[in-house]
Structure 1
């Protein structure tokens, strides 16, 4: 059963009872924002983040921009993928828990309780920034040879990361995409299934 428990989530984290229930995100705002050319001009990487948490509505808009469904009839998303494989999953790592973003239903499914932010990269700021997105590939969804699978997964994760960059530029948020990740350790921490692979991580928060 899905729940809309953001006040509880923000105040106390996720308790043991019903911890696996998905959390419904607020509906994303699909109007307004910065004009595209201005967002492209403003887009940049930063490595200085305030520790303040993102409010639920802003996190909702961020995740929809990253990889949300923008065509309900087909389930296709804001980011393209090779052969429409949709092999990249977006994990959301916060101070409270790690979640899997489920575009169908626009919701978060808790996967691991506790603060795993420090495991999402080697830089100090990842442990205190409010959100670290982790892009995880399931290469088995791609009908291609191993080398092509790796190429496609990297390209598809990069497109999602750029969506996040443009949203952050529009919303006045700071972000940086990161490849310096201990992938096996992070995969174990997120309890990924065999065959799933961490591709990239991306930190998001308010500028310091």
Structure 2
């Protein structure tokens, strides 16, 4: 009999949410994103990496706003086009932003965060130790009900492709801004869906931690 590489209980039992220290704001607005400048693309590709060593230093609001715009923000106001592609322009992937001060959903059209849970859910997005102190965790969630023009069997595949494009935008932004990042797919998706109060038809796809590099790096 082949023994499993990990205990089933370790996968099924998600880390617990943590209470926040103060009542979080219902909305966090961002200034207009910086659209020009920064590191050349080829330099960002050369610098892109995954790290699992983060400091607990926070990311300031302006930088977080630029990060989210780079991830999946509006870059063509005339038609609502975004920085990441989406099958048939359905934009079925939402970005949930988990902070020590609360858990939010990013609204690209308004370029703001809207509170979904007054909880610190960062540690619930996986099983690695750094999740407890890295400042930002992004969770990519698909709303498959937006994909009515896509055959049902193909919807999740297209959604994963869209989430992958967003994830890659984040990696490149982090490389250009000197930030650390780590993406993963190992998490308790059912527990996350409950904690984030996701609507029926939603599916947790991937997660990505963002922060500053640990000081010893």
| TM-score exceeds 0.5 | yes
**In 2, distance between residues paired with 1:45 and 1:192?**
28
Larger radius of gyration: 2
The counterpart of 1:163, out of the listed 161, 164, 169, is 169
Secondary structure at 1:60's aligned position in 2?
Answer: helix
**In 1, distance between residues paired with 2:124 and 2:139?**
11
Secondary structure at 2:162's aligned position in 1?
Answer: helix
The counterpart of 1:14, out of the listed 15, 19, 23, is 23
Corresponding residue for residue 151 of structure 1: 157
What is the aligned length?
A: 193
1:52 Cα shift? Answer: 0.5
Listed as ranges, the gaps of 5+ residues in structure 1 are 1-11
Note if 1:131 corresponds to 2:140.
Answer: no
TM-score, length basis structure 2: 0.86
1:13 Cα shift? Answer: 4.4
CA RMSD of aligned residues (A): 1.1
Corresponding residue for residue 42 of structure 1: 47
TM-score, length basis structure 1: 0.90
**In 2, distance between residues paired with 1:87 and 1:23?**
22
Listed as ranges, the gaps of 5+ residues in structure 2 are 1-20
1:65 Cα shift? Answer: 0.3
- Give the alignment of 1:49-68 within 5 angstroms: 49-68=54-73
Ranked by relative contact order (alpha carbons within 8 Å, sequence separation 6 or more), the top structure is: 2
Aligned 8 A contact 1:130 1:204 in 2: yes
- Give the alignment of 1:63-82 within 5 angstroms: 63-82=68-87
Note if 1:178 corresponds to 2:184.
Answer: yes
Aligned 8 A contact 1:13 1:97 in 2: no
Secondary structure at 2:120's aligned position in 1?
Answer: coil
Note if 1:24 corresponds to 2:24.
Answer: no
1:114 Cα shift? Answer: 2.0
**Superimposed CA distance per residue, residues 96-137 of structure 1 (whole angstroms, 9 cap, x where no aligned partner):** 100000001100001101211111111111121000000000
Secondary structure at 2:208's aligned position in 1?
Answer: strand
